Amino acid sequence: MQFLGELYEKVNPGVPFDYSFLEDDIGELYEGEKRLSTIYSLFTGFAIIITMIGLFTITLYDTFRRTKEIGIRKVNGAKRWEVMALLNMDFLKWVAAAFVISIPVAWYAMDRWLQNFAYRTDLSWWIFALAGLFALVVALITVSIQSWLAASQNPAESLRDE
């Protein structure tokens, strides 16, 4: 580097010898993407937590609203898993509908974002399937907790007022 600096000074006197390595330049270009990835990961975690709280709250309200219906079903012989399936199906339909709507939007956004890179990868279907499965599992776990509590409740307590 010293030899190149001296040669540059000889050819271009008065102009400072400023150099950089290609590896460092490429690393700086991707530094912004790394920060953006960290920010997206944090906000994704917050969004999942807020979603779980919201689903739990809606499930709590729905089971409270349907307490007498659940009690009548249990008195008539419904099993615990049948009551849970009844309560879970309402929410799983909404999760499936949201997944179907979000697939084209997510594919378009990711495809546009990946076009900015020199070496890009193709989007695979299994990435979207895995995201949908993850959303389904999070919703199922969140809703099943409250559904289990509602299905385990003594029907005599919910029907006492009637």
- DSSP for 49-87? HHHHHHHHHHHHHHHHHTHHHHHHHHHTT--HHHHHHHH
Find the mean pLDDT for residues 23-48.
Answer: 89
Domain of residue 100 covers: 2-10+17-158
Task: Decide: 68 and 162 in contact? Cβ < 8 Å.
Answer: yes
pLDDT band, very low/low/confident/very high, at 162 (cuts 50, 70, 90): low
Number of domains in the chain: 1
User: Rounded to an integer, what distance in angstroms lies between the CA atom of residue 106 and that of residue 4?
Assistant: 49
The residue ranking higher by pLDDT, 78 or 159, is 78
The residue ranking higher by pLDDT, 3 or 160, is 3
List the structure tokens of 127.
Answer: 């990435």
Q: What percent of the chain has pLDDT over 90?
A: 17
For 50-95, write each residue's pLDDT tens digit. Answer: 988 998 898 889 888 888 888 888 888 888 888 889 888 888 888 8
Task: Decide: 38 and 122 in contact? Cβ < 8 Å.
Answer: no
Tally DSSP H helices, then E strands, for the chain.
6, 0
For 36-46, write each residue's pLDDT tens digit. Answer: 999 999 999 99
List the structure tokens of 128.
Answer: 């979207």
